[in-house]
Structure 1
């Protein structure tokens, strides 16, 4: 079926931009009909094949805003054609958006424009996308309300999953949970969360942190609530604090091409290539500006996912980008002012438990980006890289899947990790108290046995044999009974 709108522009102009997730296609229908697979378009409503502006306007009206495609397509639209269309319809909102973006992408002004009319129109429809306040153009009567700027912008579609996740307000529930938990118990849970988050962030990269690096990362997490803007110098400090090898510690954003491998041999093993080094400074400046200026204007979970995944896609350092991106998730939540001081949602623990989903979210961008690189193996340790895409490929990206994943991980961090850790600690305390009331058992021995019984529901023969000469008669059975009672009490508490 012939393509219309964005997919037509992509095919007709041989653009490097990613294919739209739901292309518009001419089909035997009487009206435009959108499904999960495509947007069906009657032949009579499809612009002519050579009418590039017509396809741009169709796409803006019926498909939304795809800056990655528009950045490559609009320079092919003639200035005279655009000015003539504006003279014919000076109040046309999609024409005004097209004109505004045309000037932005080409870096020059259109001449001979009529007096433009109509209310200010947003580049991104707030009913369709998560948006930011953004600057207004009085010249075009257009507001750029994207998540970022024309230098770097993430797009987040308001899917049912994201709408439900934002409505659930995980941060408010986390604050309420913290407020309802007695301070000593909450401190124990948070200490576990800080340490567990550190270990999980390293484990995702198949690394075990040295003790000094683990302590440094914990301190970073503890200080995430302190007001601190993102700068190159600050990110360099963070990178040095999380990378053990002094030869990999950065002094600035990278000046060479980085690449990731999936472990396979040769060029086929190169699984992702971040933007060429000459693009990194501008991309990072735009990302940092977004994080610093919109922290309180964009939903914290949307901000956290966009900054975290956006950072790892740019990969501004030669090492340490993954764990630093996960720190930035916390930084964004804390800088929003919406998470109680000292509180942390251990999202890396959740990500480690849902690693396949994490990799799937990462690949939503990394896999199509990889297709625009030619990789040639020079020898066992060296490759030659050639990027054949547009710079806009890394500048504008669809963060919808990444945000949906981030919201799910925040939910899991609260319900599967923090809340369950507090519940576990309470059961542990109940068992220890019950046993201490009846037996005199050394603290470290009792702790080992109680933890084992809570984890497995019983004490194994190996455990009983191991501590047979350190535990009074009847204590093993008493611990198992106390665990059963604690679990029963916890179930009753949950239903009360």
Structure 2
């Protein structure tokens, strides 16, 4: 079987790029077909093996935009190859895209035999990708409508799964749900969301926050509603607020190489290496610009997923990146105006319950990117990290897994976590009211007992009965249990 398009280019030129999701391969078919994880190509459609530009044009037409490969490939193709195709098809859609990107990546003009005419064409097909209104290049009449810039750009494909989530209108449903609650219940649900979001964001990092640290993070979450634009200084201030060790507090983006490590010792334990400090700074400036523009240009949850995962992949600080990346989800939603009146979707609570999927979304990029680093273990705490790839790996990345996961967690945060907590609070209030109407029980004892009974499936344990036997009458335990089971299991006879 012969590779075609991007797959062929990777093999022929030794391009540093993450694995293709659906490589094009010549197969015994009569037309293009997507078969399992490949794009089956009839032999008659395959460009000649020595026609790199032909493979580029095939890829642009049939495989979409892969800036990571194009950024490395187009500068290697001689200018005369573009000019020959232009002479034959001066207004061709795909040669115009190729010439536009060739000039963007190589800063070298392609000679036009005649001015390009016709309407502007989008670089990214809006039916295939999430796009936004972008800058127009009048020379090639191409609009860069990507999620970023020609120097740093994420792509998000309109998969069936993602389209379903977008059509669900998660943020609209969240606003409607909160607005439907009585004021006091709304305040209690939101306060629970802030506390639980804080606890589980730390728990994902395998850390139990102190009372002071938890309080500072809750205040940080509340600050998201200030809609402060991102900048290096602001991100540094946020990072300082998320860490308690003064030695871990940053003064700027990192100026040394960092890495993530797992349970294995030595080089084998290094699970991800972010870009070099110099590249990290450049790309953080690009990400910050995107973060300050995109929430009002595209679906806020899509923007939040790109910003959150993009941030953690760049890892601009030596500590606190994970918690900050999840905070940026809230900050993005607030900046867009999608969440008001202190509303917060407890996405970290949902993520904590589905950590395996969270890890999969992260590893969709981090695992193949790790393969472009040679890691040499010298001794404990002493490693050498040598990047063997191309900066395009970090400049252009597929955000589809991260965005899809972000929307799934936002939906779960609303329809499971937040709604279940509201139902819990309603049950709590009903039981407390019923007990107070029939018995005289100290308020703090009653609150504790009702809470314990509800979290124990409506059963009052022997230990709790024994613990409160001298302050609460025995019949109260039975009454609480009966009320709880009636509310939790309304259909049980």
Is TM > 0.5 for Structure 1 vs Structure 2? yes
- 1:381-460 map, 5 Å: 381-456=381-456, 457-460=458-461
Q: Deviation per CA, 1:60-85: give whole Å up to 9, x if none.
A: 10011111111111112111110121
- Does the residue aligned with 2:224 lie in a helix, a strand or coil? coil
- Does the residue aligned with 1:39 lie in a helix, a strand or coil? strand
Hey, what does 2:189 align to over in structure 1? 189
Q: Deviation per CA, 1:400-447: give whole Å up to 9, x if none.
A: 111110010000100111111111000000001101111111112111
Give the Cα separation in 2 of the matches to 1:227 and 1:468: 51
Q: Does 1:483 align with 2:484?
A: yes
Give the Cα separation in 2 of the matches to 1:463 and 1:216: 33
Contact kept in structure 1, 2:115 and 2:139, CA below 8 Å:
no
Q: Deviation per CA, 1:382-406: give whole Å up to 9, x if none.
A: 1011001111100000011111100
Contact kept in structure 2, 1:26 and 1:40, CA below 8 Å:
yes
Contact kept in structure 1, 2:174 and 2:414, CA below 8 Å:
yes
Hey, what does 2:244 align to over in structure 1? 244
Hey, what does 1:379 align to over in structure 2? 379
Contact kept in structure 2, 1:3 and 1:25, CA below 8 Å:
yes
Query: TM-score, normalized by length of structure 1?
Result: 0.97
Give the Cα separation in 1 of the matches to 2:131 and 2:112: 32
Contact kept in structure 1, 2:5 and 2:55, CA below 8 Å:
yes
Give the Cα separation in 2 of the matches to 1:96 and 1:124: 13
Give the Cα separation in 2 of the matches to 1:59 and 1:434: 68
Hey, what does 2:274 align to over in structure 1? 274
Contact kept in structure 1, 2:22 and 2:38, CA below 8 Å:
yes
| 1:112, distance to aligned residue in structure 2 (A) | 4.2
Contact kept in structure 1, 2:361 and 2:405, CA below 8 Å:
yes
| 1:215, distance to aligned residue in structure 2 (A) | 1.4
Contact kept in structure 1, 2:453 and 2:459, CA below 8 Å:
yes
Hey, what does 2:341 align to over in structure 1? 341
Hey, what does 1:162 align to over in structure 2? 162
Q: How many residues align?
A: 491
Moved more, 356-365 or 375-384: 375-384
- 1:89-238 map, 5 Å: 89-238=89-238
- Does the residue aligned with 1:99 lie in a helix, a strand or coil? helix
Hey, what does 2:317 align to over in structure 1? 317
| 1:293, distance to aligned residue in structure 2 (A) | 1.5
- Does the residue aligned with 1:424 lie in a helix, a strand or coil? helix
Q: Deviation per CA, 1:286-331: give whole Å up to 9, x if none.
A: 1011111222011011000000000000000111000000000111
Hey, what does 2:465 align to over in structure 1? 464
Moved runs in structure 1, 4+ residues, more than 6 A? none
Give the Cα separation in 1 of the matches to 2:481 and 2:210: 37
Contact kept in structure 1, 2:227 and 2:331, CA below 8 Å:
no
Hey, what does 1:303 align to over in structure 2? 303
**Aligned-residue CA RMSD (Å):** 1.2
Contact kept in structure 2, 1:93 and 1:118, CA below 8 Å:
no
Q: Which runs of 5 or more structure 1 residues have no equivalent in the other structure? A: none
Query: TM-score, normalized by length of structure 2?
Result: 0.98
Give the Cα separation in 2 of the matches to 1:487 and 1:18: 49
Moved more, 306-315 or 146-155: 146-155
- Does the residue aligned with 1:251 lie in a helix, a strand or coil? coil
Q: Deviation per CA, 1:22-75: give whole Å up to 9, x if none.
A: 000000001111234111000011000110000000001001111111111111
| 1:488, distance to aligned residue in structure 2 (A) | 4.9
Q: Which runs of 5 or more structure 2 residues have no equivalent in the other structure? A: none
Task: Assess, with a 3 A threshold, how the Cα gap between structure 1 residues 394 and 430 changes in structure 2: closer, same or farther.
Answer: same
